[in-house]
Amino acid sequence: MASASLLKSSPVLDKSEFLKGSSQSLITLRQASPVSVRSSPSSLSIRASSYADELVKTAKTVASPGRGILAMDESNATCGKRLASIGLENTEANRQAYRTLLITAPGLGNYVSGAILFEETLYQSTTDGKKMVDVLVEQKIVPGIKVDKGLVPLAGSNDESWCQGLDGLASRSAAYYQAGARFAKWRTVVSIPNGPSALAVKEAAWGLARYAAISQDNGLVPIVEPEILLDGEHGIDRTFEVAQKVWAEVFFYLAENNVLFEGILLKPSMVTPGAECKERATPEQVADYTLKLLHRRIPPAVPGIMFLSGGQSEVEATLNLNAMNQSPNPWHVSFSYARALQNTCLKTWGGRPENVQAAQEALLVRAKANSLAQLGKYTGEGESEEAKKGMFVKGYVY
């Protein structure tokens, strides 16, 4: 087993919130669900199996300057909703045609370093018969895979949810690695209007940590994604308060599960007001709150922060990312967008073969805009009205 030492202290984490209690909890937590016992920081070490060097290399490749992640891992049901919005039936052929359009956009790899795939896509070929994984690699894009099994109600909570998928994850991850995937994604959510309850936060953090450890043990860089949903009327200060609590729990359990911080990527929500809040925040305010959160909670050992868009408009997501990159950060601060990269592209395509080139150009416009935002050089000039439309859906299911 390869190993690396955990940072003995971190300028961005409060020990009282992060590492507490008895050293015996490391053993206990490997065998049971999360409990309130905390362990001593002096005894912690990180083990990331024989893949440690490869994990670090993969994470750094995805977190490379001017590039981010194209999230195209919508389940078949969710992809069907997208296709229905342009009048297409949800068939494998139509999903194949759309995904082919995305990954074959000329020069996409100049702006996109990784692509998150649904299981169907990982094993799928393009309409020309080439394996989609091979096409991505030719574009210098690292293939990733969605590994969670979706959200289900969390018993004992305030109508909250938990993410399932740990059963059989090790064998599935090994198979995904063999198929060409090199990173993984697991999305769980936290709802502010529903609390969030301490139970829901702990369950989210524990599930993410177990998934991350299992992924690393099978050669996959885990994307850690506790999405704080935009739903609600709360202000930006309440989002900040909840986000601090969530990320403190997440990193505590990541450490308890011996996750190699240098071999993970994060996919957090930006700190914004609730979608139904009357007081909106400027990109500068979003950047200020979000960066303050990152500095307080995220160790600099983590190579990349790949933000989700969470229903923001294409332009809003890009402006907020750009504002966060106006000064140097300890991490690569970038994007992992689905709708905020694909919305205009999908509508431009409309399911018509003659529109494929125009749709790919629309995708490249968004990818380049976010590439510039990662470098802090996006201006927002020349954006279409479609790109400015919000995409928030209350109670959104991925």
What global pTM score does this model have? 0.84
Predicted pLDDT of residue 310: 79
User: Are β-strands 142-146 and 183-190 bridged in parallel, bridged antiparallel, or unpaired?
Assistant: parallel
Looking at the DSSP bridge assignments, the partners of residue 398 are none
Q: How far apart are CA 141 and CA 116, in angstroms?
A: 10
Predicted pLDDT of residue 46: 53
Q: Which residues of the chain have pLDDT under 70?
A: 1-49, 382-398
Predicted pLDDT of residue 230: 84
Per-residue tokens: 68: 């981010």
Predicted pLDDT of residue 389: 53
Q: What are phi and psi of 282, to 5 degrees?
A: -80, 160
Predicted pLDDT of residue 48: 52
Predicted pLDDT of residue 49: 63
Predicted pLDDT of residue 205: 97
Among all residues, which ones are annotated catalytic? Answer: 225, 267
DSSP 236-304: HHHHHHHHHHHHHHHHHHHHHTT--GGG-EE-PPP----TT-SS---HHHHHHHHHHHHHHH--TT--E
Predicted pLDDT of residue 23: 38
Q: How far apart are CA 168 and CA 204, in angstroms?
A: 18
